[in-house]
């Protein structure tokens, strides 16, 4: 017991647990970030419209991803499409004749935005809850 009447038993153990959680935090965050990113990539593959033609750069097979960063603050998952016509299908485009005369407009499908909204509203909160539970387990709660 200290002179001011307070007693801190187990403080060293708690400090040790906090240090361990802080050291493992980037790895734990990366695991959950990969899980969310892979779910988004899967949903993008499913949401990508199919033209019905066999082409070299199929839109639904063009999705790639990678994790960048080393700490919990700068971790990010980049998802992109290698397909050269992705932006045309997603956002829409004008139709032109060979001479350059505009003859129509094809409305965009906006599947990227719809998938991102779905991920943000439904999948991300669930994964954040799982991250919280993982960290709580490591702290002994």
Tell me: the pLDDT tens digits for 79-102?
A: 999 999 899 999 999 999 999 999
Is residue 131 within 8 A of residue 17, CB to CB? The reply is: no
pLDDT, tens only, 3-36: 566 656 666 776 777 777 777 777 888 888 899 9
| Any domain includes 43 | yes
Residue 105 resides in a domain: yes
3-state secondary structure of 96: strand
Look at residue 2 and tell me if it is in a domain: no
DSSP string of 7-68, one letter each residue:
--SSHHHHHHHHHHHHHHHHHHHHHHHHHHHHHHHHHHHHHS---SS--SS-GGG-EEEEEE
Domain contains 7: no
In a domain, 25, yes or no: yes
Asked if 124 contacts 77 with a C-beta cutoff of 8 angstroms, the reply is: no
Query: How open is the CA angle 95-45-123, to the nearest 5 degrees?
Result: 120
The total number of structural domains that make up the chain: 1
Q: Is the pTM of this model over 0.85?
A: no
How far is Cα 140 from Cα 106, in angstroms, rounded to an integer? 56
Average pLDDT for the chain = 85
Task: State which residues form the domain around 38.
Answer: 12-139
pLDDT at 141: 60
In a domain? residue 121: yes
**Domain-embedded: residue 6:** no
Residue 1 domain-assigned? no
């Amino acid at each position: 017991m200290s002179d001011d009447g307070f007693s801190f038993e187990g403080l060293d153990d708690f400090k040790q647990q906090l240090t361990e959680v802080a050291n493992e935090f980037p790895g734990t965050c990366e695991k959950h970030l990969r899980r969310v990113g892979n779910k988004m990539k899967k949903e993008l593959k499913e949401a990508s419209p199919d033209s019905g033609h066999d082409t070299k750069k199929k839109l639904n097979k063009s999705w790639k991803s990678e994790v960048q960063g080393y700490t919990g603050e700068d971790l990010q998952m980049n998802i992109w499409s290698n397909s050269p016509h992705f932006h045309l299908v997603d956002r829409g485009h004008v139709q032109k004749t060979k001479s350059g005369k505009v003859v129509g407009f094809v409305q965009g499908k906006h599947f990227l935005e719809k998938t991102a909204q779905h991920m943000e509203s439904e999948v991300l909160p669930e994964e954040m809850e799982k991250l919280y539970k993982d960290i709580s387990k490591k702290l002994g709660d």
